[in-house]
Each structure stands twice: as C-alpha cells, then as structure tokens.
Structure 1
Amino acid sequence: MSLDYRLFEGDHAADIATPSVLQGSGRLTRKQMIAELEDVSIDLGEKKAKIDRVIQALMMEEILMLLRVSKKRRRMMKLGVLMLGVRMKKWKTLMKVPLFDVFSFDDLYAISSVVVAVVI
C-alpha cells in the first residue's frame, strides 16, 4: 500500500501522521544536534562511571582474595610491599589494621600485581 505524501501535509496532518512521520526530513539544526549530543554524552558518562565502579569492585575482590592470610601469602605480600619501598613498620601494622587505612587502592593493586607475578 502506498500513500500520497500530500496526506501528511497541511492542517489535517496532525490528525493523520504519527510522530515519526511528522519529523519531516530528519534534519536537525546545529542547536538541536548539540543538545542531543550533550544528552548522549551525559548518558555515556553515567554508564562509564557505573562500569568503572564495577571494575574497581572486581579488582578489590581480586586483591582481597590474594590477601587472605596464610604464611605463604604473607611472605609474598611482604615481598610485594618491600618492592614498593614500604617500611617494615607499615608491614607490621598492615596485618593488624584494615588494609584501606594503610594503603591506597593503587598501592594495593600494585602489591597484588607483584604478588601474582611472584606466585606464578
């Protein structure tokens, strides 16, 4: 079935045409294009932030699995800490205090990378 384009033009077009047909040629003004791109950018930024939080949580789980206390793992951690140049005093407090009070996330990730490299 084909319809004549003139059915969708004029005063009566609002009664006949669906919103997608009413948009016309699909051309946007620069202002409309900028506004739409800004909306897309905001949406993508929010999605990126969520994905970054998931990645960080997964990395922390990996780190915490590596840090479960056993003698062998303690030695490996000690080696990783020493390779980062952390003093022994900090190492002794590391086993008594929650890890996040002593090290930053980046430090813990670096330590876990060293431990993984040494263990493997």
Structure 2
Amino acid sequence: MIIVNNRLLSLLGTLLLLAGCATPEIPNWDHRVGNYTYNQAVQDLGVPQHSTPQKDGSIMAEWITQRGTPGTIGVSQGNTSSTPAFWNSPLPDTFHATADQHLQLTFGSDHKLKSWVRFER
C-alpha cells in the first residue's frame, strides 16, 4: 500500500494545472524573411483577413492568429447571511476582455516575406 503525502499530492496537482495553462510557443518570423512566400503563408495560415496590394507590387496581408474574449461582468453573490454557502465560489465572477492577436506580413514584389509584425486590436 502506497501512502501519498498531502503536500506532495497538492504540489503535483498544481504542476499539472500550470502545465495545462502553458501557452503555445509563438514562432519567430525573422528566419523566414527573404525566403517565405505569400503562397506558403496562405497555405500555412489560410486566407488572410485583409490583403492589400501596394503600388510597388508588394502585398500587405493580415491574419488573426488568436481571437480575443469579450469578458464578462458577473453578479456577485456577496457574503451576507441570507446567501446559501454553496453559492459562494472561490472562482472569479468577472473576466476581463482580451484583444484579438494579429499577424501582419509584408511581401515584396517578388512575393517573398519582407517584414512582419505582431499586434493586438
């Protein structure tokens, strides 16, 4: 019979929770400048949200890489004596909105990646 220490069990649970919340690694586009083409970007990322041809033949294209969340305003149950104990929760009842994550790629007239930028809107 194996006896597990409560502290060890709690630590393992916390580590599993943190591992599950890890964000995926965001690629660095610097190494793709000069050799990544517009067609490859469409193949990898799908059709861009916006694509604007420039006068010099270059293309500026924008993708939404992650949708934001609208956020919520919860109704607090309060800690009054009339509130049943099972209504009180340690979880927050308000979640802050997050912005959409965008990737803007600019391709030269040869349709090879010239520059890139990541931003939120």
Q: If each structure's strand is expressed as a fraction of its own residues, which one has the higher value?
A: 2
TM bin (shorter chain): under 0.3
Q: If each structure's helix is expressed as a fraction of its own residues, which one has the higher value?
A: 1
- Higher RCO (C-alpha 8 Å, min separation 6): 2
TM-score w.r.t. structure 2 length?
A: 0.27
